A and B are shown apart, each in its own frame.
Chain A
Amino acid sequence: MNILEAKQVRKSFGSRNQVYQVLKGIDLNVRAGEFVGIMGPSGAGKTTLLNVLASIDRPTEGVIEIGGSDIARMKDRDLSNFRREKLGFIFQDYNLLDTLTVKENILLPLSLGKQNRMESERMFVDIAKALGITELSDKYPNEISGGQKQRTSAARALINNPSLVFADEPTGALDSKSASSLLGNLEGINRERNVTIMMVTHDPVASSYCSRVVFLKDGQLYTELYRGDKERKDFFGDIMSVQSALGGDGYDTV
């Protein structure tokens, strides 16, 4: 079953006389329980695509259906319910509220639900422990490092057990140890709870955790790779070879 369908999605920026098309007609289907990686050179439109798919941004043209309904036509209440109960979003630039502590930021999504205090606390402790930020709970965002902010942002996205997670370079600011623990965590919820994940990344190691990797170039789908039952190491090799074929700006290949 497709949880997400994008048909001929286009997105342009700019004004009348200087239109710049960033997404040039993208078709993409994501089945429930998939872990999709999105790769491509910088400026290819990955962030834009993710934002459009996650209902954060509006496409200029095209239809996006989540769970069978067109999000452009969804009622405000239904869209909000969807975001509250199903969606988790990890931002490339963290997007934390400066006025709230780490703990308050993470608990924010639960503030609308019906969980009682003890339950929320337990959920917080679990996710904070998994991401290694328990000690930071009373700090404010401007008192922690970039990687710690990124993990806080991830914790906020995951705390309400979403069934669909969008992550924009969630490991961009992390060292390899925290990166692999976050990826492991994502892989875990994907395997155990059948959570659908879409993750933009530049890192072939990160995308080797995925079950499918979609390559984007100049606003179009370039190719895609399925992991099947390959070992992660072998899948990593496949990704590397597509990436060098893709060339790009050399920023991606190390």
Chain B
Amino acid sequence: MTLFDLVRRSMRKNIKHYYLYFFSFIFSVMLYFVFATLQHDESVIKGAELSLRLDQSFKVAAYLLLAIVAVFVLYANSIFLKRRSNEIGIYQLIGLTRGGVARMLMIENMLLGIGALLVGIATGIVVSRGFLLLLVKLMGKEAFIELSISIPAIMQTAIVFIILVAVTSLQSLRVVYKSTLIDLFTARRTTELSKQPGKISQLLFGVLGIVLIVFGYWYSGRMVNSYFILNAFIVLAATIFGTFFFFRATVGWLLHLWRKRKDGHLAFRDTLSTAAIMHRMKSNARSLTLITTLSAMTLGMIGVAYSLYYSVENSTRGMFPYDFAFQNQAEFASSFEKELTAAGISFEQKELASVELPVDVAKLPSQASAYWADLKASVFSNDSLEQAGMTIVDPTGGAVLFDSFANSDMFGSNVGYDVTLKMPNNELDITIKEVEEKLAMNTDTSFYQLAVDRTTYEKLASGAQEVPYLVFTLGQEEDSKEATAIYKKVVPEKEQRVVYYDMLAQQFEANGLMVFITGFLGLVFLLTTGSILYFRQMTEAEQERQTFRTLRQLGFSIPDMMNSIIWKQLFIFGLPLAIGILHGIFAIKSASSFLFSASILLPATVAFIVYAAIYAIFAAFTIGYYRKIMKDVL
């Protein structure tokens, strides 16, 4: 047998035993490749050029994906190495040189890496079509796509993973050169038990953890000011370190108190769960923090993106109350009307009017735009708006302000404050009675929009010229395409206004892409965190083999023991999830306060439930693994 034979043999054996490692490697390649393919896909690139923001998100997402894939592969390799350390030691004991063992591991790693790369890219090519279809569907585009095999994506994936294989090889080299044989022989069995808690320092850190988290939550509601970046950084740091201390000290401390109260009389369930958790909490702290942070990030991202997507129609309609609007364009409107009728499209046409007056809004809290000179307001009478089909609060005795971003309470509500309308001869102070979270008229100007009662309107209109509007709303949405085409035909390009349906499509495209990116990243994060927990638990289960054997010999049944294992898994999987969800809720809350006005509750809940459900699958796998080991030991 030559070295190569040895490699081949051990690989053949190992594939059976460590298929999980191989699988996760392949899976990482596949996901990375799919993302790279989309990144290089023409239709997506066009979508991403929609706005700089999306382009940036795509790039950031690509780096995040790269980071997480790297962490994951390195982590999986370290577990894999640990499980094989005995074998590595034996090879040296029978006289293979360190160099030889290292060479063997490198050959293995290379074969494995190339294999995973090929299989991963191949499956990636197959599934990326499905992902692209999903993306196109989310973006609301015509589902006609042709996916050619993307050479740049293959190159990019290959380069990334070749580098990763090199790094994992270095990792293996370190193990081979830095360990004595006895380390290798005992590595699999040694557990990094932490010392008994109870020291004052642990209490301090435990309290610090909670304080930091609470502070982070509290501060996250107060970050919108000129130090926004710094504030965001403070919040991130506080919650992440808080979480770390929470896992490293607080949990152990709480369990310690609980155990002390029991004074040695532990129920059987607790001997296998609580005691084990306590012993490993400290060494688990880092991975649990990572998992919690990733979960929170995923949930925050998906929650925000999905909420935005979910309310695209609402928010677009808020800005464009009518499908088509003509201002001072009576002749275009009438030919538009004729063409629509000729095409057999059902529609409703309404007439409206407003007065445009200079306005002073210096007293409003949301005076961000007050820096602009020559502010104007379009003032409507409430009865004409109602006649055009809009329901609004009665403005009698004041005014209703239309503001489609009213919900983002970045600067507080405008209700109760005065604005001053400047008529040619005199001024009129009018109090904002109510703010409507929408606009009264399609617009591409930054005019304030107000509604007042009829009498006030007449007073205002007497001194100024009225602006007439003709607005159209289609009877059936299916006609939107044709109608939009007619609009663009009838109205010369220079005179065209933004059409509701164009805006809607654009919003769907942009937000759909965001949902896809965050969803994709979320999926990767989820699979990664789930697998890391699963790997860790698998290792713990292996280490506890002897305990299980002893317990079974003592007459405990598998259900007895499984009961406590399920308990432990609930804790190990549930705690990071719960804290991640809590973090995520606060992240969404603080994002929603300045980013958007959208319905959050339902979409975010859906996102959370889906996340938790997939996560639970990993817990179920882990429990299954424990059961298998327990059955095996006798």
Contact = CB atoms under 8 A, between A and B. Distances in A.
Interface of A: 51, 55-58, 76-77, 79-85, 87, 89, 91, 95, 97-100, 104, 108-112, 142, 156, 160
Given A95-B86, A99-B13, A108-B90, A81 B185 contact: no
Contacts of A55: 181
Contacts of A112: 1, 94-96
A56 B95 contact: no
A97 B1 CA distance: 17
Interface in B79-98: 86-87, 89-90, 92-98
Contacts of B16: 99
B100 A100 contact: no
Question: Shortest 5 CB-CB distances between A and B: which pairs?
Answer: A84-B95, A111-B1, A99-B13, A80-B97, A57-B182
A56 B94 contact: no
Contact of A109 (B5, B14, B94, B185): B94
Given A77-B97, A81-B95, A87-B95, 17 more contacts: A57-B180, A58-B180, A77-B99, A80-B98, A83-B92, A83-B94, A83-B95, A84-B94, A84-B95, A91-B185, A95-B86, A95-B90, A95-B185, A98-B17, A99-B14, A104-B9, A111-B1
Contacts of B181: 55-57
B6 interface: yes
- Chain B residues touching A, majority SS: helix
A134 to B, nearest CB: 21
A80 B86 contact: no
A79 B95 CA distance: 8
Contacts of A51: 182
A99 B10 contact: yes
Contacts of B180: 56-58
Contacts of A156: 94
A80 B90 contact: no
B17 to A, nearest CB: 6
A112 to B, nearest CB: 6
A80 B92 contact: yes
A111 B16 CA distance: 22
B167 to A, nearest CB: 23
A110 B94 CA distance: 8
Interface in B1-47: 1, 5-6, 9-10, 13-14, 16-17
Contacts of B10: 99
B343 to A, nearest CB: 74
A97 B86 contact: yes
A80 B182 contact: no
B86 A85 contact: no
Contacts of A95: 86, 89-90, 185
Nearest to B17: A99
A196 B96 CA distance: 22
B96 A97 contact: no
A183 to B, nearest CB: 23
A23 to B, nearest CB: 13
Interface string B405-436: 00000000000000000000000000000000
A142 B632 CA distance: 10
Contact of B93 (A56, A98, A142): A56
Contact of B87 (A76, A77, A97): A97
A76 B98 CA distance: 7
B179 to A, nearest CB: 10
A203 B98 CA distance: 36
B94 A108 contact: yes
Contacts of A111: 1, 5-6, 94
A12 B182 CA distance: 14
A89 B99 CA distance: 21
Nearest to A101: B13
Contacts of A56: 93, 180-182, 185
Nearest to B18: A99
Nearest to A100: B13
Contacts of A79: 97
A76 B95 CA distance: 10
A109 B95 contact: yes
A154 B17 CA distance: 26
A238 to B, nearest CB: 33
B301 to A, nearest CB: 42
Nearest to A120: B1
A55 B184 CA distance: 13
Contacts of B182: 51, 56-57
26 contacts: A57-B180, A77-B97, A77-B99, A81-B95, A82-B95, A83-B95, A84-B94, A84-B95, A87-B93, A91-B185, A97-B86, A97-B87, A99-B10, A99-B13, A99-B14, A99-B16, A99-B87, A108-B90, A109-B95, A110-B1, A111-B1, A111-B5, A111-B6, A111-B94, A112-B94, A156-B94
Interface string B58-102: 000000000000000000000000000011011011111111100
A216 to B, nearest CB: 18
B185 A80 contact: no
Contacts of A99: 10, 13-14, 16-17, 87
Contacts of B90: 95, 97, 108
Nearest to A58: B180
Nearest to A159: B94
Interface string B340-358: 0000000000000000000
Nearest to A81: B95
Contact of B100 (A80, A87, A98, A110): A80
Contacts of B98: 76, 80
B545 to A, nearest CB: 11
A170 to B, nearest CB: 16
Nearest to A52: B182
Nearest to A109: B94
Contacts of A108: 90, 94
B376 to A, nearest CB: 75
Nearest to B91: A108
Contacts of A100: 13
Contact of B95 (A57, A80, A91, A97): A80
Contacts of A98: 17
A156 B17 CA distance: 23
B199 to A, nearest CB: 13
A77 B180 CA distance: 15
A85 B632 CA distance: 37
Nearest to A80: B97
Contacts of B86: 95, 97
A57 B90 CA distance: 13
A142 B89 CA distance: 19
A161 B388 CA distance: 102
Contacts of B13: 99-100
